[in-house]
Amino acid sequence: MNEIRIAILCGGPFAFPALQKLAFEKYLCGVAIGGSDFRVTANIEEECKKNNFAFLEINSGRNISQLEDWLIELKPDAVFSICFPYKLSNELIQKFEGQIYNFHPGPLPEFRGPAPIFEVLKKGRRETALTVHRMDAEYDSGNIIFSERIKIEELFSYAALAEKLSRITGMAVVNLAEMLKFSRSKIAGTVQDECTATFYPFPKDSDFEIDWEKMNSDEVLNLIRACSDWTRGAITWLGEEKLRIPEATIDSSLKYPHGRPGIIVDLLDEQKWVVRSVDQKYIVIPQISSDFGVLGLNYLRELGLDINSEFSKNNQILNHN
């Protein structure tokens, strides 16, 4: 039986294991990359040249029309989309009807949208999935081919979960390639249940902000984990200073008098800030950053951070009467 030829649409390093596996198994015929770091793009382009794979860079949503011409010329048997950052046109999907498959790093239909890893962690889920589905004209709504459930370990950060999903995607692309190779007809898949469908748009800065007056300690920790390696950390404010918290823990052994949430109640070992949550638990923060990087203790004190300082939300000092 003849081998099938597969083109990959991707957005960066998440797709590396999949590219390596498909190249090794001699299924890969071309790579289109969109919106990635120029060094990542340059490395993939170089590898494509070495191995005689077709290559296309899509550097904005404006020139995505090039993709249709590229695929028509390439004539792949199937197209695998792995975190490709641009929506494909209905015309392209219709032209390659039944040939385009998306590898979605989250459960479907519960977590549709461009950032399911963030949303799953933010909601404190203990399980996620890699879902492979046929692509249609709507976002993440096509028939599901298969879904692999994945346990989320308690200490998983965004990067740890993304790395695990990336490795699983590397195995899943070969599984689907084998299914397509030996299938005598199109793989129909299972229709998604629209009653349980939820679409999450790409998060804004406000989605990364800690609301100390409303979010309990678990919710704060979940948000920090969801932001950790992806956005330099969850956002909080000290007066007019925008700060980021990349990691934290809840220490149930700590005891202080009850009081307002968001207040720094202690500094342990001259490096660990202790903040009270709305459910009167204590969040220990070993590191505080800005958009530029990690901030040292002396600089934080220059900003006014100390015991009895108060973190707030939306660049507003909370007004308590």
Residue 7's contacts (CB-CB under 8 Å, 6 or more residues apart) are 28, 29, 30, 31, 32, 54, 71, 74, 76, 78, 79, 80
Residue 254 to residue 215: CA distance in whole angstroms: 19
* Greater pLDDT, 141 or 154: 141
- Predicted confidence (pLDDT) per residue in 83-100, tens digit: 999 999 999 999 999 999
Strand 28-34 relative to strand 54-58, pairing: parallel
188-247 tens-digit pLDDT:
899 999 999 999 999 999 999 999 999 999 999 999 999 998 999 999 999 999 999 999
Mean pLDDT of 139-146: 96
Joined tokens for residue 59: 């550097």
Query: For the chain, which residues make up each domain, given as ranges?
Result: 6-196, 205-302
As a whole number of angstroms, the distance between CA 65 and CA 60 comes to: 10
Helix-, strand-, coil-residue percentages of the chain, each rounded to 5 = 30, 25, 40
Give the mean pLDDT of 295-306: 94
Q: Determine the 3-state secondary structure of 175 from DSSP.
A: helix
Reported confidence tier of residue 186, pLDDT bands at 50, 70, 90: confident
Beta bridge partners of 10: 33, 82
Residues near 91 by beta carbon (within 8 Å), at least 6 away in sequence: 68
Chain centroid offset of residue 116 CA: 6
pLDDT over 70 percentage in the chain: 96
pLDDT at 62: 67
Is pLDDT at 315 greater than 70 in this prediction? Answer: no
State the pLDDT at residue 321.
Answer: 41
Exposed / middle / buried, residue 130 (Cβ in 10 Å: 0-12, 13-18, 19+): buried
Please give the model's pTM, rounded to 2 decimal places: 0.92
CATH for 6-196 (1.25.40.10, 3.40.50.170, 3.60.70.12, 3.10.20.30): 3.40.50.170
pLDDT higher than threshold 60 for residue 1 = no
According to the CATH classification, is domain 205-302 in 3.10.25.10?
A: yes
The dihedral over CA atoms of 37, 42, 43, 44, expressed in degrees to the nearest 10, equals: 90
Bridge partners (DSSP) of residue 289 are 244, 294
| 230-286 pLDDT, tens digit each | 999 999 999 999 999 999 999 999 999 999 999 999 999 988 999 999 999 999 999
Q: What is the pLDDT of residue 2?
A: 54
Gyration radius of the chain over CA positions = 23
pLDDT of residue 131: 98
Beta strands in the chain (DSSP E): 6-10, 28-34, 54-58, 78-82, 100-104, 127-134, 144-151, 234-238, 241-245, 249-250, 264-268, 272-276, 282-285, 288-290, 293-295
Q: Helix, strand or coil for residue 225? A: helix
